[in-house]
Amino acid sequence: MNTTKTIQSALISVFDKDGLEPIVRKLHDHNVTIYSTGGTEDFIKNLGIPVVPVEDVTSYPSILGGRVKTLHPKIFGGILNRQDHEGDVQQMKEYEIPQIDLVIVDLYPFEKTVASGAGEADIIEKIDIGGISLIRAAAKNFKDTVIVASVNEYALFLDMITNGNGATTLEERRLLATKAFHVSSHYDGAIFNYFNTDETIYKASVADGQILRYGENPHQKGYFFGDFDAMFTKVHGKELSYNNLLDVDAAVNLMNEFKNDDPTFAILKHNNACGLATRKTMKEAYLDALAGDPTSAFGGVLIANGKIDEAAAEEINKLFCEVVIAPSYDEKAIAILEEKKNRIILIQNDVELPTKQVRTCLNGMLIQDKDNITDNKELLKTVTITAPTEQEIEDLLFASKICKHTKSNTIVFAKNKQLCASGTGQTSRVDALRQAVEKANSFHFDLNGAVMASDAFFPFPDCVELAKNAGITAVIQPGGSIKDELSINYCNENKVAMVFTGVRHFKH
C-alpha cells in the first residue's frame, strides 16, 4: 500500500507569518488549491498567489468579530474524512465537501499575551478556538492529512515538500501530528494554569528539552527541560553535564541571597558551599572563599555576585574548576579564564526563577513553594542574657544564608563574613557540628569569636556546648524545641549569645 500522498489542497490560517512565504510559493508551484481567512488570506493575495476565501466554501462570513471563521462541517469534513472509507467518500460527494490535504495553523500568542501583563479581556481574546480545533482534527487524521501546527515547524515542512516534490510520507505526517498534539496540549496547559486556583492540581509543559551526555552517572540517561539560553550566555567551554547543571542551580540559588551585597564569591561542590566570602574586591572575596576549603574547591563550581575582573581571574585561573558564573566579566578576565579549554564560562542573565520546586517521589511527585524567606535582623529574637554584637549579627545572618542552602543536617561556622567550615548532610546535628569543627581546624581557622548557624533547633544543649568549646560566641537557630531552655541556660551560664529566627531551613 502506497502511503505517500501528494498535497492538492491546503487550508492556511496563521498568526505568525514569518517564514510562510516560501511555503505558499512552493505550494503554488505544485498547483495546490489554497483556502484561507482574514489576515492570512490578505497576505497570500499580496504575494500575487490565488487563494480561495473560506467563506466561499462555507457560505458563511467571518462572524462575531472574527471569533468564528473556520468552524463549519464543510471545513472539518474536508480535514477529517477517511479517504479509504466508502461512507466518508460518499458523504463528501453528497454534501459537496472539498478535500483538504494540508492544514497550516499558528495559534494566537496566549502565553506571550499573559507574560506582557495585558488585561484579562485581551488575554481571553487570545484563546484560540478555531485554530486549536483545526490542529486536533488534522492531527487525528494524519493518515490522510498533513498538519503544520506552529511557526516552529514551517522550515521542517518546507524541507519535506521540497524533498518529496510536493508529497509527504506516512512517517512524516505522523511526526508532524506528534508535534501538533504537543502544541495543542501545551497551549491548553497554559490556559488552564492561567485560570487555575486549585493548588492540588498541577499541570506543566516544558517544550525546550535538551539531551545531556548522561545523567548523574554514565549508565543513566539525562535530559534538561528549560530555557538555559535565556538564563545564561555561555562564553566558553564544554557542554554542561547533568551534575554541572545541579551544581549551577545550587550556586545560583545560594548567590541570590547575596545579590545586593558587597563583592561576594562562592565555591560549591556537590551542591554545597565549600567556600564563601564577602569582601571589598572580588579578588579578595575569591581568595577568602578558596581558603574555606582549598581541597574541595578542586573541580568545583564558582560564582560571583558581581563583575569578575582581571585580578580575580588571574587567581581563579590557578584552580582547576568546572564552571565559572558571574553577571559580567572584564574582557581581559574572559581571555584569562579561556586559557583552560574545557572550563565553562557563563554570564548569568537576570531572569525570573520558578517559585515552585518539583521532584519525583514514589509513584508521583512532590511540589512545594521555594524557601523564599531570608533571615534578617527584624526576624531575630535574642533569647539569652548576652546579646550579639553588631559584627556578630552580620556574621550570624551571613552564616544563616549559607546554612539555608546546605544539605541537612547542617551546621555552618562563619567569621568576618567568611565561611570557616560547615558540617553537611549528617544524620545527627552533633555529627554535623563535629564535622565542622574538625574541618575548620584542618584548615587552620581560629574559631574564637566565630558564629554558628543551624538549620533546625537543638533538642539538647550538647551542640551549644561543643560550639562554645570550639570558640563560638554567638548562635543563630530557628528555636521551637520543647527543650529550648536547656540550650538557652547553657548559653547564659557561658556568656554565649543566641538568637531565634522562628524559621526552619531544612534542605533534604
The residues annotated as belonging to the active site are 140, 270
Per-residue cell: 63:
462572524
**CA 500-506-508 angle, 5° bins:** 170
Q: Which of 370, 375, 368 is nearest to 352 (CA)?
A: 370
Three-class SS of residue 171? helix
Q: Are 258 and 272 in contact (CB under 8 A)?
A: no
The C-alpha cell at 307 is: 563583575
Express the helix, strand and coil content of the chain in percent, nearest 5 each.
40, 20, 40
**Alpha helical stretches, state H, 356-496:** 390-404, 429-442, 462-470, 484-493
Say how far apart CA 420 and CA 436 lie, in whole Å.
8
Q: What is the grid cell recorded at 289?
A: 572563599
The b/e string for 332-354 (b: 16+ C-beta within 10 A; e otherwise) is ebbebbeebeebbbbbbeeeeee
Beta bridge partners of 499: 382, 476
Cβ-Cβ contacts under 8 Å for 152 (sequence gap 6 or more)? none
Q: How far, CA to CA in Å, does 47 sit from each of 23, 225, 466?
A: 12, 39, 81
Cα(224)–Cα(209) distance, rounded to whole angstroms? 6
The x, y and z cell numbers of residue 358, run together, are 518539583
CA dist 445 and 295 (Å) reads 15
Name the 3-class secondary structure at 147.
Answer: strand
Owner of C-alpha cell 556537590: 270
CA pair distance 83, 89, nearest whole angstrom: 6
H-state helical runs in 204-308: 228-231, 242-255, 282-291
d(CA 249, CA 225): 13
| Residue type for position 218 | P
The residue behind cell 493575495 is 45
Query: Which grid cell is 379?
Result: 526576624
CA angle 375, 379, 383 (to 5 degrees): 115
Q: How far is the CA of 319 from the CAs of 42, 116, 247, 313, 371, in angstroms?
A: 62, 44, 17, 10, 32
The two beta strands, 167-168 and 209-211, are: unpaired
